[in-house]
Structure 1
Amino acid sequence: MEDAEKGSQERLDSAPEVGEDAVTSVGPSPPPPPAITEEERQELQEELDKVEDEIQTLSQVLAAKEKQLADIKRKLGVTALNELKQNITKTWQEVTTSIAYRRTSETLSQASLKATAAFSNMGSAISRKLEDVSTQSLQHSASMPAMRNAPTFKSFEDKVETLKTKMTPSTSDPVDEEREDPPAAESEGSPLHEEPMD
């Protein structure tokens, strides 16, 4: 048995460890372990057996404790889903009480307040501008009748009316039309001449 252990020990020593590069694995082999006496070897072997027995015993105790735990949870009605919920709740509480979470929350809250104030100010400014435009529009439409009765507008209106009558073709002879004054288009009852509405 000792020969088998020696052979496996030699193979483990010669195999490069994870992360060890090719240069070190090709280099000179490590020095052999210091020579130990047969008594020391016997003591080490007994200690190894003892540690393996303890590990096996602890594994059995752990398995028994896990079984006992499962039985207790089953009797209490604790399921894996309930445990998951409890773990999530506990984790969330830990996160919300953390300093980083509180700082982030405060920063976002302040940003939200500033954004709300900015949107409110922008809305107020737009409302005021629309009110100004609406007021100017009302003032402009209120001044239209007054502008229509102004002498300049009357003069312009008369000129347009005269031009309109000259350009309108009539059914009479064109030669007669040149000699005569414009027909009854300038009379008050004519549909072409409109009175200003007040």
Structure 2
Amino acid sequence: MNKATKGAMAAGAAALLLLGGAGSLALWSDSESVDGGAINTGTLDISSAAGTWQDVSVPGVPVDISDISLFRMVPGDTVEYTTEMTVTVIGDNLSADVEFDPTFVPVFTEGPDAGILAARNITRVAPTAANFTVDVDAFREGTTTPVTTITDADDNLVIDVTVSIAFDAIDQVGINTTASFEDFDVTVQQVRP
């Protein structure tokens, strides 16, 4: 074998080694971690302070009620429960509706109507057996502006909530009855545009 042939074979072998052996081509590569940062989520919450009761049966003459369980309503009476609720709304695109629990029904725990549940809609409870009527109002603290929708700009908003319960009946309807309104909920429900 002559020198030229040997040189050509050596050059071919070197080329195969550079190509990775069986004809594959080795390419450069590199990687770098991306410092994207942490993703944080927001908060939607509502909390309630202890409330107070008043007898508002005589317009313009409210009377404080220290223990509602000791107050005995008669037809024509109206009592009000007032409380402050604080909403936490944190989220760049967060929007929520303030609602009253649409599934709430008062429960009659004593008397001739015990165990009866009443139908209700979003703003009013009207159990016909005992003629209780419930209205609910919620306003931005210190204003007469109703609260319906809140956003991130309303974080730590204080809402004044008033629940008005009226009793109206004739004959012997609703006598010696206890109706529980303990589980009446105000909710904040996120909405998307």
Considering fraction of residues, name the structure with more helix. 1
Same fold (TM over 0.5): no
Please, what TM-score do these two structures have when normalized by structure 2?
A: 0.13
Which protein has the larger Cα radius of gyration, Structure 1 or Structure 2? 1
Please, what TM-score do these two structures have when normalized by structure 1?
A: 0.13
Query: Per chain length, whose mean CA-contact separation is higher, i.e. which structure has more relative contact order (CA < 8 Å, sep 6+)?
Result: 2
Considering fraction of residues, name the structure with more strand. 2
